[in-house]
């Protein structure tokens, strides 16, 4: 089994992105599944291209995208992606789309296809704060999930895909006066999720 796992580069004035650090800390294989790691740019245009290119070249059995949701206290298992780009701040290329569709001819939304309830139960068992989230936002993370699910749908593939948002690192949390999570816990959460995905 081949799982494509992604994280995002820093953005919005933060020097670090916990999803990048967690991606780097993960091993090359989990529970017999090979992990193909990709770091995605925080750019609407470049992330769309990178997600489609990674799925085309890796032909993964499953896709787990990850990113930072600053201000959230729990690991967020995203339920859906909306066909909209509505940026609250410019991306790392200075692009700041408002009320634009990701794909003019695409469906309004896609549901994630990973086993979210199983992953949620597994994280609860491991005492990691977790929730199913009904909004991945309207920024680059939502776009990455939408593009992954859209690419898979267009290929007619049965690849499962989903997105996990992670909290700030403790030092970022302190600086922002917001909740955070130790990197070790975030890595453990992603490891549990990948083990569940590898179980099929
Ligand atoms: N979080 C942003 C984009 C990159 C990231 O890690 C988001 O939630 O859209």
Q: Give the number of other CB atoms < 10 A from CB of residue 76.
A: 22
Q: What is the separation of C-alpha 109 from the centre of its chain, rounded to a whole number of angstroms?
A: 16
Residue for token digits 């339920």? 79
> Has this prediction a pTM greater than 0.85?
yes
Candidate from 5, 7, 11, 20 with most ligand 1 atoms within 8 A of CB, to mutate: 11
Q: What is the mean pLDDT of residues 128-150?
A: 98
- Sign of the dihedral through C-alpha 66, 5, 189, 83: positive
DSSP H or E run through 100:
none
Give 136's pLDDT tier (boundaries 50, 70, 90). Answer: very high
Q: Walk across the sheet containing 2-8 and list its strands.
A: 29-30, 33-40, 2-8, 62-68, 160-166, 75-78, 130-133
pLDDT the model gives residue 176:
97
Tokens of 134: 């009904």
- Sign of the dihedral through C-alpha 33, 34, 39, 44: negative
Query: Alpha-carbon distance 44 to 196, whole Å?
Result: 30
Nearest CA to ligand 1 atom 9: 141
Candidate from 14, 47, 50, 139 with most ligand 1 atoms within 8 A of CB, to mutate: 139
Active site residue 141: yes
Which residue from 195, 189, 194, 177 is spatially nearest to 75, judged by alpha carbons? 189
Residues of the chain with pLDDT > 90, as a percent, come to 100
Which atom of ligand 1 lies nearest, measured to the CA of 66?
A: 6
pLDDT the model gives residue 199:
95
pLDDT averaged over every residue in the chain:
98
> pLDDT tens, 16-74?
999 999 999 999 999 999 999 999 999 999 999 999 999 999 999 999 999 999 999 99
pLDDT the model gives residue 157:
92
Q: What are the C-alpha distances in Å from 76 to residues 7, 27, 40, 73, 114?
A: 14, 22, 19, 9, 13
In terms of DSSP bridges, do strands 75-78 and 62-68 run parallel, antiparallel, or are they unpaired? unpaired
């Amino acid at each position: 089994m081949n799982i494509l796992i992604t994280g995002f580069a820093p953005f919005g004035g933060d020097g670090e992105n916990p999803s990048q650090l967690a991606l780097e800390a993960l091993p090359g294989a989990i529970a017999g599944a090979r992990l193909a790691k990709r770091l995605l740019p925080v750019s609407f245009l470049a992330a769309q291209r990178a997600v489609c290119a990674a799925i085309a070249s890796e032909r993964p059995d499953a896709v787990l995208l990850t990113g930072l949701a600053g201000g959230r206290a729990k690991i967020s298992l995203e339920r859906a992606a909306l066909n909209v780009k509505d940026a609250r701040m410019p991306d790392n290329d200075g692009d700041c789309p408002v009320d634009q569709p990701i794909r003019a001819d695409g469906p309004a939304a896609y549901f994630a296809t990973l086993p979210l309830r199983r992953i949620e139960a597994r994280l609860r068992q491991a005492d990691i704060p977790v929730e199913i989230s009904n909004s991945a936002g309207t920024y680059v993370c939502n776009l990455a999930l939408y593009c992954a699910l859209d690419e898979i749908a267009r290929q007619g593939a049965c690849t499962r895909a989903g997105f996990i948002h992670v909290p700030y690192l403790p030092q970022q949390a302190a600086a922002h006066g917001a909740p955070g999570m130790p990197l070790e816990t975030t890595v453990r959460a992603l490891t549990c999720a990948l083990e569940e995905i590898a179980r099929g």
